[in-house]
Structure 1
Amino acid sequence: MLFTSNFYLILLGRFLFGAGTGLYNSLTISLIGDCFEGDEQQNLIGLQSATAALGNSVATFIAGLLLSVNWHSSFLVYLAIIPMIIIFSLGYTKRIEKETSVEVKNDTVAHVNKKLSPAVLLGIFTLFFFFVSVIVMLTSSALAIQQLGLAHSELLSLALAVAGILGSISFIFYGQIHKLFKNFTPVLACVLGFIGYLILLAATNMLVFFIGLVFVSISMIVIPYIYGLILSSVTSSAKNIVISLAMIACNLGSFFSPFIISFLAKIFGASDALSQIKYAAFIFVVIALIFTFSALTSKNKGREQ
C-alpha cells in the first residue's frame, strides 16, 4: 500500500491487513477469558476496549499528520504493529499455550453445542444493530449540524475525535460500572446513547452538540459487556471463533448502517439527517428493551434456583 497507486493492490493490502488484525483482536479478548474470570476479567476487558479505542484515535490522528506529506505516507502508521508483535511474542508464555491446548481438546467434543447458545446469539445480534445505530453519529452529524443551522460546524471533526477519546476513557471504569449495574449494564449504555441522540436533535450550539456526541460515545461500553457475556457463555475451544463472529457483526453493522437507515427512511417517509438520528435513537430503545427483558429473565431464573 505504501509503494503502489493501484487501487486493487491497495484493496488487497487492506484485506490482508484486516484479516491479520482480525485474528489478533479476537485473540486479545479470548486470552483474557482464558486467564482471568469474575471482576478481574471484566476490568481487563474494559481496559482492552479502552486501549483499542485510544489506539484507533491516536492512529487516525497520526495518519492525518502523515497525510500532509503525501497520501502514501499515511500507510506508515501500520508499522506500529511491529513492536506489538514483538511484545506479544515475549509475553505469551508457553505454559499458557499448553494449558489452553489441553483444555481445547477436552472441551471441543463435549461442549461444541454451546458455541452458539442463546446468550451468544443475543450478543452477536445486538452488536450488529448497535453499530447500525452508533455509526449514524458519524454519517449524519455534518448534515444534522447544517440542518440545525449551528455555527462553527468546522469544529465537528475535533468534536468527534474528543468525544471518541472521552468515550474510550469510560471503558477504563467499565469494571466498576458492570459491578454496579451487572446485567443492566447494556440497558444503561443504550439509555445513554438514546439521551445522546436526543441532545443532538435539540442542540442549539456546537457545545450542546458535542455533549450529545460524548453521550453516544460512552454508550459503547456495551461492547465489553457483550464480549464478557460471550466469554462466560462458551467453552475455551469456542472463544476465538465466537469473538471473531462478534467482531464481524460489528463490522457488518457499520457497513449496513446506511442501507438499514435508508430502509427505515422509506418506511417512515423521511430521509433527512435529523430523521436518521431519530431512527438510530429508536434502535437504541429496541436494544435496551431486549436487554431489559433478558436481565429480568435471568434475575427471575436466579431466584427460582
Structure 2
Amino acid sequence: MNEFVDSSSDAIAGLPQSGAKRTLLKTAILALSLILCSVSVTMSVVSSLKQDYPHASTMQLQGFVNIPVIGGIVATLVGGYLAARVGKKNICLAGTLLCFLGGFLPMFIPDLTLKTAVRVLCGFGVGLIQPLAASLIVDCFKGHEADTMMGVQSAMVGLGAAIFSSAIAGIMTVNWHYFYYVYFIALVVAILVWLFIPNSVNEIGRIHKGSKDTSQPKRKMPLSAYFGMILQIVFATAYGYYSVNLSLAAEETKTITAVQAATVITVVSVSSFLGGLVFGYAKRFLGMHIGIVAIAMQAVAFVLWANTGSLALWYVAAVLLGLGFCWFMPYVNFLVNEHTDATLSAQATSYAFFGNNIGAFLPSYVFAGIGAITGITSTQKSFNEAAILMVVCIIMIVVFNMADRKNETKEVQAAK
C-alpha cells in the first residue's frame, strides 16, 4: 500500500477570499496564539499553592508550572506528523480542548501530584497548537498578507499572556482557588476554531493512506527546518537569561529597584506586542534580513543591561529586546518553511518550537556551568554571555544563508 498526498490547492482555493468570512478565518487562526502562554503564566499562583500544600517541596510547587511543559515538548515532536494525517483543523480543536480540560479539571483534584499530572494535558494541548498557529498562516495566506498575519500572530502571544495574567490577578483578589476559570478562554478559542475555520482546512497537506496513486511523491524535510531547530535552541538559551536573571541583576546594580525591574519587564511586553503589529511592514523593507536585525537588537539590549546601571538605558534595552523578539519569532517560522509545502509546514514549524522549548530549559544550567568554569557568577554580567550567544546566532544565519545560496546556484545550473 502506497501513500499519496492530496492536492491542497482546491482546499486553499475554497477558503473565503474576502469579506466577513475572511476576517473571521483570520480571527480564529490568530486566536490560537492567545493560549500559547497559558501554562507559564500560572507561575504567579505558586506562592498561593504553598498555602494549601505547606509540606510540599519547592521543586514540587515549581513542578505545577514546569512539568506541563514536558507535555508541550512531546506534542511539538508529534504534532506535525499528526496534523498531516488527522487534519490541521482537527488538531487545533483537539489542542484547544486539551488545554481547557488540562487547565480547568485540576481545580477539582485535591492531590498536588495528580493535579500537576493532569496539567500535562494542558501542556500537550498547547504543544499541538504552537506550530499550527504559525504554519496555518503560511498555508492559507501569501505575500504581504502573510507577513502582516505572522507579525500579528507574534503580537497575539504577548496579548494572550497579558489577558491570562490580568485575569488570574483579578480572580486572586477574590479567591485564588478559582483561577482555573481562566482556562475557559481556551474553550472560547475552540469554539472560534470550530465555527470559523472551514473543514476544508483539514485537507491542506493531509496525507491519505491506502491508495496506489504515486503521482505526487512525498517530499523530504528541507535542511532549513533542521537549521531552524538548532538556531532556536541557541536563541532561546540566550533569551532565557532575561527570564531567569533580570530581577536579580536589577538588585545587583543597587540603582534599580525591584519595582522598576517589573516596569522594565512590562516595557518588554508592550514593545513586543506593538512590534508584532508592524512586522509585515518591516519585512517588506528588510526581507529575510529582518532575522539578523532582530537578533542584533537583542544583543545590544543585553550589552546595555550588563554594563550600565541607568534606568533610562534599561528601558531602551527593554524596547530593543521586545522588538527584536517579536520580529525574530515570525522570521524563524518563515525560515523553516522556505522550502516546504502544505504537507510539511506543520512538522517543520514543530521542529522550530521543539528547539525553542529545549532552549528555554537551558539558561539556568548554562549560566551555572559558565560560572563554574570562569568564576563569573554576577547575574548582571551574565547578560554579556547572552549577547555573545546572540552573536553566535547571527554567525549561524550568515553561514547558513551562504550555503543555501550555493545550493540554489548548483540546482539552477544542474537544471540547465
- What TM-score, normalized by structure 1, do the two folds share? 0.89
Counterpart code for 1:127: Q
Residue 259, structure 1, aligned to residue 365, structure 2: yes
Contact 1:130 1:283 in 2 (8 A): yes
In structure 1, what is the equivalent of residue 121 of structure 2?
A: 16
In structure 1, what is the equivalent of residue 350 of structure 2?
A: 244
- Cα distance change, pair 153–208 in 1 and its aligned pair in 2 (3 A): farther
What do residues 56-87 of structure 1 show as CA deviations (whole Å, max 9, x unaligned)?
A: 12212221222233332222211111111111
Q: Which of the numbers 211, 217, 241 marks the counterpart of 1:110? A: 217
1:241 and 1:130 map into 2 onto residues whose CA distance is: 20
In structure 1, what is the equivalent of residue 384 of structure 2?
A: 278
- Cα distance change, pair 289–112 in 1 and its aligned pair in 2 (3 A): same
1:290 and 1:162 map into 2 onto residues whose CA distance is: 29
Higher relative contact order (CA 8 A, sep 6+): 1
1:157 and 1:266 map into 2 onto residues whose CA distance is: 29
Structural mapping, 1:173-184, within 5 Å: 173-184=278-289
What is the DSSP-based 3-state SS (H/G/I as helix, E as strand, rest coil) of the residue aligned with 2:331?
Answer: helix
Query: Could you tell me how far 1:301 is from its partner in structure 2?
Result: 6.3
Structural mapping, 1:126-141, within 5 Å: 126-141=231-246
Runs of 4+ in 1 over 6 A off after TM superposition: 102-109, 300-304
What is the DSSP-based 3-state SS (H/G/I as helix, E as strand, rest coil) of the residue aligned with 2:107?
Answer: coil
What is the DSSP-based 3-state SS (H/G/I as helix, E as strand, rest coil) of the residue aligned with 2:170?
Answer: helix
Aligned length: 303
2:144 and 2:408 map into 1 onto residues whose CA distance is: 19
Unmatched 5+ residue regions in structure 1? none
Counterpart code for 2:250: I
1:40 and 1:239 map into 2 onto residues whose CA distance is: 18
Could you tell which deviates more after superposition, 264-273 or 220-229? 264-273
- Cα distance change, pair 90–188 in 1 and its aligned pair in 2 (3 A): same
Contact 1:103 1:236 in 2 (8 A): no
Larger Rg belongs to: 2
Structural mapping, 1:1-305, within 5 Å: 1-101=106-206, 110-113=217-220, 115=221, 117-220=222-325, 221-298=327-404
1:271 and 1:238 map into 2 onto residues whose CA distance is: 43
Contact 1:131 1:253 in 2 (8 A): yes
Counterpart code for 1:279: E
1:201 and 1:99 map into 2 onto residues whose CA distance is: 47
1:259 and 1:108 map into 2 onto residues whose CA distance is: 49
Query: Could you tell me how far 1:200 is from its partner in structure 2?
Result: 0.9
Contact 1:153 1:206 in 2 (8 A): no
